[in-house]
Amino acid sequence: MTAGTVLHKTRTPLHLWFWAAYLVTTATPGISALGLQRQLGLRRYETAWMMLHKLRRAMVNPERAPLTGAVEVDECFVGGHEVGLRGGRQPGVKALVVVAVEVRGAGSGRVRLQAIDDASADTLCAFVTGTVAPGATVHTDGWQSYQRLSRLGYDHRPRSQRAQRLFGDDPEEILPRVHRVISHLKTWLQGTHRGVSEEHLQVYLDEFAFRFNRRRTPMAAFQTLLGLGSQQAPTTYHEIITMGPGAAERTAELTG
C-alpha cells in the first residue's frame, strides 16, 4: 500500500504518519520535530525529524497552476541579523529568498517562495517566469534585475522605495502583501523552528507556501497532503541528509 510513496519502507506505524500529517497541516503555528516527537510519543528525535521532512517533500504539487492576475514580488534574507551589511541585497551568510504573492483586493492570494543564490536578472526573472502566468501584472520595487520582465511579456510596474522615502511615505507600503508574507515567514521560521539550515531551507519554504495557501481550510490541507503523499516518489534518509552544499558532513539538522 505504501510502496513507491513517501512512506515507502517506513517502519513507523501508519497511524502515526496520519497524526503527523494532521498536526503539520492543522496546527496554527505548524509543528517542529521536537514538538512532533512529544505529541506522538516517539523515542527518537530523528524519527520525528525525518517524518516531517518526508511530508514536506510531498507538499509541492508538480501540476500546480501559476499565479495569476496581479502579483507582488520581492526578496528577503532569512537567518538572523548580520552586522556590517550595506544595502538590502548585499550578500552575506544569510540565505536569500524570493517571494511572490497574488493580489486579491486588500488581501493576499496564493504564494510561491524559492531560495536563490543571488538577485541577478537571470535568477529573479527565471523565478517569475516559472511561477507567474504570462501576461500577468507584476509589481516590484525599482531593483534593476526586474527590468527584463516587460520584455518577457509581463505588465511590469516597478515602484521606487527611494522615491517613497523622499515623499515621506513608508517604503513597505509599495508592496504591502509580499512584505506581510515575508514578516510571517521570518516569524514562523524563528518561532516554530528556531531557525533552519540553508541546505534544507527550500522544503521549509514549500511547507510555508502549502500552509499559507490553505490557511482558511486546514482540514482540506490535511486531505490534500495525504493525496499528494501517495503520488510523490520516496526520498531516503541518505538523500535528505546529503542534500545541499555542505550537507554531506552533517548527519542531521538540529533545528528541525
Instruction: Give the residue from 233, 210, 20, 255 showing the smallest Cα distance to 110.
Output: 210
Cell of 49: 525529524
Q: What's the confidence (pLDDT) of residue 80? A: 55
Q: What's the confidence (pLDDT) of residue 61? A: 86
Q: What's the confidence (pLDDT) of residue 226? A: 81
Instruction: Give the residue from 80, 38, 109, 88 showing the smallest Cα distance to 194.
Output: 80
Helix 45-56 × helix 33-40 angle, to 10°? 110
Q: What's the confidence (pLDDT) of residue 96? A: 96
Whole-angstrom CA distances from 95 to 2, 26, 181 are 35, 28, 16
Report DSSP letters for 104-166, one per residue.
ETTEEEEEEEEEES---HHHHHHHHHHHB-TT-EEEEES-GGGGGGGTTT-EEEEE-HHHHHH
DSSP letter (8 states) at residue 182? H
Pick out the chain residues at pLDDT < 70.
1-9, 80-93, 161-172, 228-256
Q: What's the confidence (pLDDT) of residue 10? A: 74
Instruction: Give the residue from 125, 96, 94, 97 showing the smallest Cα distance to 112.
Output: 97
The structure's pTM equals 0.82
